């Protein structure tokens, strides 16, 4: 049984005339008659009384009429729901990123792009654990983009034939810790404190955060102990304030806490971690919505470069 047969039956029951119903359904009258016969064969009984004009429904036809109408209505409603979902998904931009970036960078960045982009629906996923997980999600199209902190001295991925990247901005991550009873830092990294220093970052090599590499390269002579693992700036700050350990947190996010003394630096500004905020996409995917968004970013970067040149002349 085909849906078009049901629509034919509904048209005929409404018009009571094979010729007019065939015209409405944009099919020849012989073909229309065969389709009515086909649905009667599928039902197993006559649905249309053809003995007079206009044609009438048989008793079986009258029973089947509301059933046919419900089936057609359900099919059309389901089709519309699916098409709406597809339309929405086509304009939806999907990001993966660290929780800190989701809190302190994405909202204002997306707001700045509103005049230039078509998409107004966004998905932000932060549940991935490793660098490989983030890049795999982009490569298999689970997400469209990966936005990350990246130490220019320690790139996460260098193969431009697989992933394309753009620099979106820069950030300074400040080492902070709660003060002792005298208001001094519990640990001062330049003094090379002995014993394990509790930190609020993972020490796993496959972490997408640049902090672990910074700690390993800048402070290889020190011993750190991971006592908490989070990529959320609000959580890191709260844990640091409560005295759980050392954390590298975006400077703007802890400026007020440093000023009030709730947090103190664990090293001089020269030891801050300067990182880029970069965005990656897969080069093998060419969906229109992704390409449109990417071209907006390329144009934004070009405008910023031109502005810098204009100001320097």
**Are residue 161 and residue 242 in the same domain, yes or no?**
yes
Per-residue pLDDT of the chain (313 residues; tens, 9 = 90+): 788 988 988 998 999 999 999 999 899 999 999 999 999 999 899 999 988 888 999 999 899 999 999 998 888 888 777 766 555 555 689 999 999 999 989 999 999 998 888 767 889 999 888 888 999 999 998 999 999 999 888 888 777 778 999 999 999 999 999 999 999 999 999 999 988 999 998 877 788 888 888 888 889 899 999 998 888 889 999 999 999 999 999 999 999 999 999 999 999 999 899 999 999 999 888 788 888 899 999 998 888 777 777 776 6
Q: What is the pLDDT of residue 82?
A: 72
Q: Are 166 and 152 in contact (CB under 8 A)?
A: no
**Are residue 216 and residue 270 in the same domain, yes or no?**
yes
The Cα 266–Cα 275 span in angstroms is 18
Which of these, 183, 165, 172, 201, lies nearest to 269 by C-alpha position? 172
Which of these, 223, 221, 272, lies nearest to 248 by C-alpha position? 272
**Are residue 276 and residue 143 in the same domain, yes or no?**
yes
Q: What is the pLDDT of residue 262?
A: 95
pTM over cut 0.75:
no
**Are residue 112 and residue 233 in the same domain, yes or no?**
yes
**Are residue 163 and residue 266 in the same domain, yes or no?**
yes
How many Cα atoms occupy the beta-carbon half-sphere of 80 within 13 Å? 6
CATH number at residue 10: 1.10.10.10
Which of these, 234, 217, 216, lies nearest to 226 by C-alpha position? 216
Among 66, 89, 112, the domain boundary falls at 89
Q: Could you list the residue range(s) of the whole structural domain that residue 156 is in?
A: 98-312
**Are residue 85 and residue 106 in the same domain, yes or no?**
no
**Are residue 219 and residue 300 in the same domain, yes or no?**
yes
**Are residue 198 and residue 296 in the same domain, yes or no?**
yes
**Are residue 53 and residue 118 in the same domain, yes or no?**
no
Q: What is the pLDDT of residues 81-95, one digit of tens each?
A: 776 655 555 568 999
Which two structure tokens, joined as six digits, stand for 14?
């409404």
How many other CB atoms are found less than 10 A from the CB of residue 128?
20
Report cis status (omega within 30 of 0) of the bond before 54.
yes
**Are residue 32 and residue 109 in the same domain, yes or no?**
no
Q: Say if strands 197-199 and 224-226 run parallel, antiparallel, or are unpaired.
A: parallel
CATH number at residue 144: 3.40.190.290
**Are residue 177 and residue 262 in the same domain, yes or no?**
yes
Give the length of the chain: 313
Residues whose CB falls within 8 Å of the CB of residue 12, separated by 6 or more in sequence, listed in order: 18, 21, 32, 36, 48, 55
Please, which contacts does 33-38 make with residues 24 or more away whose CB atoms are closer than 8 Å?
35/4, 35/5, 35/8, 36/5, 36/8, 36/9, 36/12, 38/5
Q: What is the pLDDT of residue 85?
A: 57
Domain count, the chain: 2
Among 26, 60, 89, the domain boundary falls at 89
**Are residue 80 and residue 177 in the same domain, yes or no?**
no
Among 34, 57, 89, the domain boundary falls at 89
| C-alpha distances in Å from residue 279, one per residue of 43, 129, 180 | 59, 17, 39
């Amino acid at each position: 049984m085909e849906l078009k047969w049901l629509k034919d039956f509904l048209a005929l029951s409404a018009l009571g005339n094979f010729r007019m119903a065939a015209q409405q359904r944009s099919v020849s009258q012989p073909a229309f008659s065969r389709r009515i016969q086909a649905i009667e064969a599928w039902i197993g009984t006559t649905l249309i009384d053809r003995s007079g004009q206009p044609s009438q429904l048989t008793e079986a036809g009258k029973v089947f009429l509301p059933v046919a109408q419900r089936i057609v209505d359900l099919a059309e409603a389901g089709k519309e729901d699916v098409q709406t979902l597809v339309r929405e998904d086509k304009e939806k931009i999907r990001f993966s990123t660290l929780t800190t970036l989701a809190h302190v960078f994405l909202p204002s960045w997306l707001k700045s792009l509103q005049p230039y982009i078509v998409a107004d629906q966004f998905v932000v996923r932060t549940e991935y654990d490793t660098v490989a997980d983030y890049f795999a999600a982009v490569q298999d199209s689970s997400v469209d983009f990966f936005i990350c902190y990246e130490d220019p001295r320690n790139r996460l991925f260098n193969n431009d034939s697989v992933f394309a990247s753009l620099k979106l901005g820069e950030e300074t991550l400040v080492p902070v810790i709660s003060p002792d009873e005298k208001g001094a830092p519990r640990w001062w990294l330049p003094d090379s404190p002995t014993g394990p220093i509790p930190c609020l970052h993972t020490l796993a090599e496959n972490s997408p955060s640049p902090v672990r590499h910074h700690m390993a390269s800048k402070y290889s002579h020190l011993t750190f102990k991971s006592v908490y693992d989070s990529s959320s700036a609000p959580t890191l700050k709260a844990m640091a304030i409560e005295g759980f350990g050392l954390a590298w947190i975006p400077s703007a996010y802890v400026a007020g806490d440093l000023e009030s003394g709730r947090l103190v630096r664990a090293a001089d500004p020269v030891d801050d971690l300067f990182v880029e905020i970069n965005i990656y996409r897969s080069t093998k995917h060419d969906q229109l919505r992704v390409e449109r968004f990417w071209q907006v970013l390329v144009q934004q970067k070009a405008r910023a470069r031109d502005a810098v040149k204009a100001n320097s002349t």
